[in-house]
Structure 1
Amino acid sequence: MSRRKQPALPVPTTDEAAIALISEYIDVERRLRLAAEAADEMIAGVKEGLDEIKAEARPEQEQRFAAIKSWWEAGAAQRWAGKKRSADVAGAKIGTRLSNASVRMPKGIKIDAIVEWLRGHSWTGASRFVRAKYELNKDALIAAWPDEADTRKLFEDKGVKVSQADQFFIDVTPADTKEEARTDG
């Protein structure tokens, strides 16, 4: 299977042509930014409207939920679900379910104190409940790479490298005015 090649790009051959292409690129980038800003403003407006609708409906919904829960606990669970934990009622599944399990500490006791207590405990099963997390500190390795030849050699012997490449970029500065951003160059 042969490799597909990209079609040849029309590369500018003069500085004037390059400047014209850059100007065109900048114009499109600025228009895209304006469109993105307008979209963000519209989305923010829609979300704000949705938040208002939710805030308005929330108190009544909380009352409805509490009333339905009381009805369910007062005997509807037996009538509708029998030995099951839930039932389909009026287009909704209603019932009880277990929440996710969580570990709770007594008031005033910090988790670090429990960890230290377990680490110092002579019980052989205590180690199951304490874990240590070891990971490579990549930031420290990147910082040490250029200056510490011994460290670099040690990691290179294991095949570890720090790589960094030049990347071409175009940073389009914001237009001075919105009118300038809308011009065709």
Structure 2
Amino acid sequence: QAAQQQQQQQLANNVDAADAAAAAQQQQQQQQQTHQQQGTPGAPQPEDLIPTKFVWTYGGRQVHVCGSFSAWTEAVPLTWEAHPEHAAQGCFAVVIPLVPGYHQFKYIVDNEWRHDPARPHLPDPNGHLNNWVFLKRPDNTAAAYTQQHMVPPPGMQHAAAAAAAAAAQGGGMDWQSDPQAAAAAAAAAAAAA
């Protein structure tokens, strides 16, 4: 009889546990539905994001960009854009909406990690070079592409001078609209620094 009572108690406990698990699952589904309807608290809203264009002009068959903006877990593909005047020339590009702030990134070209040597870059703790950008919320949020203000981390003033020169030439993240002019501006800024 004691064994039977113990068995009934265990069965009741199992039913209670199953009911609790079902209730927890239902509550989680309701929370997910609420987040989808209202947006996740603390998540950036679309109006807070800055459309940022990443450009790769050094060739390749497949080009992706990966960075701190995705915790280095997502490689975003770039698409080929032909130059409007010279069809054989062009670049790989993608626009990614990013939150204002500091971002490191790197390109993956034909499965090889690469940085853009003509753009601001710095070594990571393992000595690998990453490109970086600091996005400042623009005064005019209606602009198609932001003109960001590059703010260097300590020791990166020379890169900031090159970035400022490129921005003065119509830069921003759309760095490579005229690669020769951007390279000349960067070289002039580096020589002046």
* Shorter-chain TM-score tier: under 0.3
More helix by share: 1
Larger Cα-atom Rg: 1
TM-score scaled by length of structure 2: 0.27
TM-score scaled by length of structure 1: 0.28
Looking at both structures, which has the greater relative contact order when contacts are Cα pairs under 8 Å and sequence separation is at least 6?
Answer: 1
